[in-house]
Amino acid sequence: MPELSCVILGGPNGSGKSSAFGKLKPEGVWINADEIAKTLPESNDGKSKERRASEIALRQIAEMMMGAKGEWCASAAWRRWR
């Protein structure tokens, strides 16, 4: 059975999480709300793309934790939602 691992790159916006990921290049799944937001269409549900992307990222992280399959890396930036 392969060893499981998780890497979390945390910090405020603009602190270099994505740059660090690019330099470290860990194996596995990269979960990044900013990248998810770029793929989302506009919505009329009152939530910003960033908020919806964060919800998707949190769901993906939970799925990875519950499934405990392979390696993954998450980027975490905490924001105050309006």
Query: How high is the pLDDT of residue 1?
Result: 44
Query: How high is the pLDDT of residue 56?
Result: 92
Cβ atoms of residues 77 and 33 within 8 Å: yes
- The model's pTM: 0.70
Query: How is residue 36 written in tokens?
Result: 């998810």
pLDDT digits (tens, 9 = 90+) for 16-63: 888 888 898 877 788 888 889 899 998 888 888 888 998 898 888 888
Query: How high is the pLDDT of residue 75?
Result: 65
Query: How high is the pLDDT of residue 79?
Result: 54
Would you kindly state where each structural domain of the chain is located, as residue ranges? 5-76
**Judging by beta carbons within 10 Å of its beta carbon (0-12, 13-18, 19+), is residue 27 exposed, middle or buried?**
exposed
